[in-house]
C-alpha cells in the first residue's frame, strides 16, 4: 500500500476550503475508487486502519479522503452550514477522475456522503457505505455547541472520549482521537455541531440513493444501532437496495477499533456493486 499527502483547495464559493488530502493506494491497477468522509472530531487519517485492512484483504483500490471544515488541518475554517460540507464533497468528487466512485462516510461523514450521493447521477456513485451515522439531526447536536461559552475544549474532550470509546479501545487509537479533538478550535467545534444540526435526514433523499450498506456498532451510545435501523427502513421503503449489519465489541469509533471488520464488509459491498 502507498500513501500520499498533499494540500488542495476545494472550491465552495465564495469560501474555498484549503485542506489536507490523503490518498491510499494498493496495486497498480485500481479496481475500486473510494471517497472517505470522516466523523466530526477526527480527520482524514481516521481511514488509515481501513486502508491497511483493504490492502491486507487483497483489494486493488485508491482511497481518497480529506479534512472536512472545522476538523484537523481545516480546524480554522469552520462550516457555516451543513450545505457547505456537501459543496466541499461535490468539489472533492470533481477532483477524482475515475468514472465510478464508492462513498464511505462515518457519522457526520455518512450524512454528508448520503447528501452528496442524492445529488449525483447514479452511474457516477457505485455504492454508499454509512458507518454509525444518525438517521437525522438530534437535539443533542446543538447542546454540544458550548465550547466558546466555556472557553475551553477540556470538558468536551473528556466527555467525547467517554462517549466514543466507553471502556473499550486501545491506547493508540484513544490518543489519536484525543489529539484530533485538541486540534479543533472552540469556534470551529461549535460551528460544526450547529451545522450538523441542520441535517434533515433521509425522507427526501432515500429514493435517490445507490445500493447502501449500513454498519452500526453494538456498543455505540453516541449513535445507537437503532439509528441505522431507521435509515435502512427508509431506504427499503423507498425501494432502494440496502444491507444492514452490526459489529460487536465496539462503540462509536468502531472504524478505529475494528478496521478489519469494517473493511471486510466494505469490500463485499464494493464487489457486489462494482
pLDDT per position as a tens digit, 203-262: 999 999 999 999 999 999 999 999 999 999 999 999 999 999 999 999 999 999 999 999
The dihedral of CA 109, 112, 114, 117: what is its sign?
negative
CA separation for the pair 261, 68 (Å, rounded): 25
pLDDT at residue 127, as a whole number: 97
Give 113-154 pLDDT, tens digit per residue: 999 999 998 789 999 999 999 999 999 999 999 999 999 999
Give 81-95 pLDDT, tens digit per residue: 999 999 999 999 999
User: Looking at the whole model, is its pTM more than 0.95?
Assistant: yes
pLDDT: is 42 or 29 the higher one?
Answer: 42
pLDDT: is 173 or 242 the higher one?
Answer: 242
pLDDT at residue 40, as a whole number: 98
Residue 20 has pLDDT above 90, yes or no: yes
pLDDT at residue 168, as a whole number: 58
What are the cell numbers at 71?
Answer: 476538523
pLDDT at residue 97, as a whole number: 79
SS3 122: coil
CA separation for the pair 156, 146 (Å, rounded): 9
pLDDT at residue 170, as a whole number: 63
Weakest mean pLDDT among 22-31, 74-83, 167-176: 167-176
Strand partners, 226: none
Give 49-78 pLDDT, tens digit per residue: 999 999 999 999 999 999 999 999 999 999
Residues with Cβ < 8 Å from 103, sequence gap 6 or more? Answer: 34, 35, 37, 113, 116, 117, 125, 127, 128, 129
Strand partners, 261: none
Alpha helix locations (H) across the chain? 48-56, 82-95, 108-119, 139-143, 147-150, 154-165, 171-182, 186-196, 225-237, 254-257, 259-272
CA separation for the pair 220, 223 (Å, rounded): 6
Mean pLDDT of the region 23-41: 94
Amino acid at each position: 500500500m502507498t500513501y500520499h499527502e498533499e494540500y488542495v483547495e476545494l472550491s465552495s464559493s465564495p469560501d474555498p476550503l484549503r485542506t489536507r488530502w490523503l490518498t491510499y493506494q494498493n496495486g497498480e491497477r485500481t479496481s475500486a475508487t473510494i471517497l472517505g468522509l470522516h466523523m466530526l472530531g477526527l480527520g482524514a487519517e481516521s481511514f488509515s486502519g481501513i486502508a491497511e485492512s483493504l490492502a491486507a484483504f487483497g483489494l486493488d483500490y485508491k482511497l481518497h479522503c480529506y479534512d472536512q471544515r472545522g476538523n484537523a488541518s481545516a480546524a480554522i475554517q469552520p462550516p457555516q452550514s451543513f450545505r457547505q460540507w456537501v459543496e466541499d464533497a461535490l468539489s472533492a468528487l470533481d477532483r477524482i477522475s475515475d468514472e465510478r466512485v464508492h462513498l464511505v462516510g462515518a457519522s457526520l461523514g455518512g450524512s454528508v456522503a448520503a447528501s452528496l450521493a442524492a445529488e449525483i447521477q447514479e452511474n457516477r456513485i457505485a455504492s454508499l457505505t454509512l458507518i454509525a451515522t444518525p438517521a437525522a439531526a438530534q437535539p443533542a447536536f446543538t447542546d454540544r455547541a458550548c465550547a466558546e461559552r466555556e472557553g475551553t475544549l477540556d470538558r468536551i474532550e473528556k466527555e467525547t472520549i467517554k462517549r466514543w470509546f466507553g471502556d473499550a479501545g486501545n491506547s493508540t487509537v484513544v490518543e489519536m482521537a484525543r489529539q484530533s479533538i485538541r486540534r479543533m478550535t472552540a469556534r470551529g467545534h461549535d460551528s460544526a455541531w450547529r451545522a450538523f444540526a441542520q441535517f434533515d435526514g433521509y425522507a427526501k433523499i432515500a429514493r435517490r440513493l445507490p445500493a447502501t450498506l449500513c454498519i452500526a456498532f453494538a456498543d455505540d451510545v453516541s449513535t445507537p444501532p437503532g439509528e441505522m435501523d431507521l435509515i435502512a427502513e427508509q431506504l427499503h421503503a423507498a425501494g432502494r437496495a440496502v444491507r444492514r449489519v452490526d459489529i460487536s465489541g465496539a462503540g462509536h469509533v468502531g472504524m478505529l477499533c475494528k478496521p478489519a471488520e469494517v473493511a471486510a464488509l466494505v469490500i463485499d459491498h464494493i464487489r457486489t456493486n462494482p
